[in-house]
Structures are given as structure tokens and as C-alpha cells.
Amino acid sequence: MQKYQIAVLPGDGIGPEVVQEGMKVLLKLQDLDTSFTFESTTFEWNSNYYIKHGRMMPNDGLEKLKTYDAVFFGALGDKRVEEHIPVWELIMPIRKQFQQYVNLRPIKQLNGITSPLQNEEPIDFYVFRENAEGEYSNSGGRIYDQTDQAMAIQNTIITKKGVERIATYAFDYARKNEISRVVSATKSNAIIHSMKLWDDVVNEVALDYDGIELDSIYVDALAAYFVNKPHTFEVLVASNLFGDILTDLGAALVGGLGLSPSANLNPERNFPSMFEPIHGSAPDIAGKKIANPIAQIWSAALMLEHFGRDDLAAKIMHAIEAVLVNGEVLTPDLGGNASTSEVGDAIIQELDKQL
């Protein structure tokens, strides 16, 4: 029997609401499938914790998380705490210290979901977003603050090694899945140092993959292609910022943030990987019990895939799609009037039917 240790970080706002549904689904799977079991520990490292202790996690927080097979994460963000604090004191340390340099984001139109686009062909691709460096760096600073000469410098960090490993991961995925084209998001015509190095390294990696075409496209044009011809994409590799923006756009094409999961992967498995929806803590709907839990539940499926249990992940996806196709139990973001836990329950009922 396979046994997994999962660290659960519900976070703030709707984070705990949707994580609860994700955990319900995992528990149900464990009941129904005896080949799999897990143990979870919940860490309440969130904005309340910060207000009480002046930090987002204990000193040895990362040491604690390191012993787990995976981190199952909700979302952080609370008006009482400055926005950059949870990002730079909890999310970024986990992603960077645990070398979760691949941020995998499926942009997939599930059965039962209509896109705001009048597209005939299904949208189904993977974005591999560089997750450890790039535009999201804390290198830089401000001088002459509060004066007319106020100046800020924010450095982008692009390294050969960093680009090589994310591009290699994307190309490996393409080869494994017999996909013949990898698109790289660039802007080397304007960002001539960092994006030029990005292009050079991606080009070099592509040489090792016979039969897979590399298509480097400027990110502004890509934004338009996401709308014009999203069905033409299969694998897209992008820097941290470009990937972040494009995937929110992608999410909007396939049902919205409430349906969009992500995996922060450490491919070498030296550290735990982390699974979370791409949405934030949604303070506008927090506490109303109407958050869509599907992105979080899909993240649980990505976690099972990471554990090598594609079979269990497929069961979750099948159950999610059955609920969407049925269309009776949907949260308001999808035009329904069901609550977060009613959607979780409906997915569990579908799992029951399957197993």
C-alpha cells in the first residue's frame, strides 16, 4: 500500500473553504481505494498567524515541511497584512527553497464548460511557467523615496541553468506525449538582455529534441493568439511573469479562476512539491461559502499524478466533469447557486458511483 504524508496549508479567505473540499475528496478516495492512504498535518500559517507572531511561519517552518511528500496549499492574502508579506515570507520561500522551478498550469476546457469564446475546437494545453527566478525577484530597491527624485530598480534574474531546466522539462513533456511543437513566450525584441538569454538557452535545449519544433512568439502576440486560436497550443514554456499573466487569461477562457489548478514541481524530488489553485484568497467572497472548490480539487488530482497515481487522478477528473456536465450543482461563478461544500459533496457522490 502506498502511503503519503501531506502538509496542508489552508491559508486565508476562501483558502480554508476550498481546501476542506479537497481534503474531503482525498479522504473519500482513501476509503474507496485501499491501495492508497495518506496522513495529513494542517499548518495554520496564515495572516492570523502573522498578526500574532510577526512572521508567516515559524523559524523552522521549511524544515518542518521538508519531511512531507507534498504540500497542499489553499491561498494567502488578507487586507490586515501588507500584500507582499505572505508572498515573500511564505509562498516564495517554499517555491524557491524547495526548488519548485516548474509551475505546471493546465489550460483545459473540461466537459460541461462553455468558453466565453465561440470556439468549436477544444482548448487543452499545458503551460510550464518558470517558478524560481525571472521577473519575480527581490533584488533591487528604492532610493530618494518620498521625494521628486524617487527611483526604484527591480531586477529580473534570468540564468542559463534556470532556463535550461524549465525548457528541458517542457520539451521532455512534449516528447513523452508525442507533441510536435513547443511554444516559448518571449519579448527579446524589447527586453534585450534577459529575454535574449532566455531565447538563446531555449534554442539550445530545442536542438536535443528531434522532431519537436520550437516556436518562439512575442508575449503580446501570444495574448492575442490565446483568444484567436487557443486550440493550436499544446505546450507553452514561459518566464515567471509572462506565465503568470498568460495563465490567468487562459483560465478565463476555460471557465475562470475557480476551475484552474497548478502544481509547483521539484522534478528531482529532493524537496516536496506544492499543489494549489491559481486563484487567491478572494476576499470579496470569503465567508460566503460560494467559492468554487474545483480548482483546489483538481490540484489534488495533480498531486496524485505527481505521486504516480494517474489512475486516481483520472477518477477525480471524471467525477468533476460528471458534476459539470450534469450542471445542477454549480457555484455562482459558473452560473449556479450551490455552495462550496455542495459541489464537494456532488463530486464525492460521483466518486462513489465510479468505485
Contact residues toward Mg ion (CB under 5 A) are 244
Our CB check for ligand NAI shows the closer of 4 and 275 to be 275
Rule CB under 6 A: is residue 295 a binding residue for ligand NAI?
yes
Our CB check for Mg ion shows the closer of 130 and 244 to be 244
Rule CB under 6 A: is residue 260 a binding residue for ligand NAI?
no
Considering only 10, 77, 134, 250, the residue that binds ligand NAI (CB under 6 A) is 77
Please check whether residue 179 is in contact with residue 234, taking contact to mean a CB–CB distance below 8 angstroms.
yes
- Selection from Mg ion, ligand NAI, none that 195 binds (CB < 5 to 8 A by kind) is none
Please report how close the Cβ of residue 166 comes to Mg ion at its closest, in angstroms.
17
Q: Which of residues 135-154 bind ligand NAI (CB under 6 A)?
A: none
Helix (H, G, I), strand (E, B) or coil at 73: strand
Q: Are strands 140-143 and 213-218 parallel, antiparallel or unpaired?
A: unpaired
Considering only 71, 291, 297, 322, the residue that binds ligand NAI (CB under 6 A) is 291
- Selection from ligand NAI, Mg ion, none that 297 binds (CB < 5 to 8 A by kind) is none
Q: Which of residues 268-287 bind ligand NAI (CB under 6 A)?
A: 276, 279-285
- Rounded Cα distance between 315 and 312, Å, is 5
x/- binding map, residues 23-42, to ligand NAI, per CB under 6 A?
--------------------
Residue 18: name the closest of 297, 262, 278 by CA: 297
Considering only 255, 258, 261, 344, the residue that binds ligand NAI (CB under 6 A) is 258
- Rounded Cα distance between 314 and 123, Å, is 18
- H or E element that contains 324: helix 310-326
- Selection from Mg ion, ligand NAI, none that 244 binds (CB < 5 to 8 A by kind) is Mg ion
Rule CB under 6 A: is residue 302 a binding residue for ligand NAI?
no
- 102-110, 191-199, 210-218, 291-299 -> range binding ligand NAI (CB under 6 A): 291-299
**At CA 275, angle to CA 205 and CA 90, rounded to 5?**
95
Residue whose grid cell is 515570507? 89
- Selection from Mg ion, ligand NAI, none that 239 binds (CB < 5 to 8 A by kind) is none
Cα distances (Å, whole numbers) of residue 1 to 101, 147, 232, 299: 30, 64, 41, 22
Residue 317: name the closest of 149, 109, 115, 114 by CA: 109
Q: Using the CB atoms, write b or e for 186-212: b if 16+ within 10 Å.
A: bbbeebeebbebbbebbeebbeebeeb
Instruction: Note the residue count of the chain.
Output: 355
Our CB check for Mg ion shows the closer of 268 and 284 to be 284
- H or E element that contains 352: helix 340-354
Rule CB under 6 A: is residue 257 a binding residue for ligand NAI?
yes
Please report how close the Cβ of residue 151 comes to ligand NAI at its closest, in angstroms.
25
Contacts with ligand NAI, residue ranges (CB under 6 A): 14, 18, 75-77, 83, 91, 257-258, 276, 279-285, 291-292, 295, 333
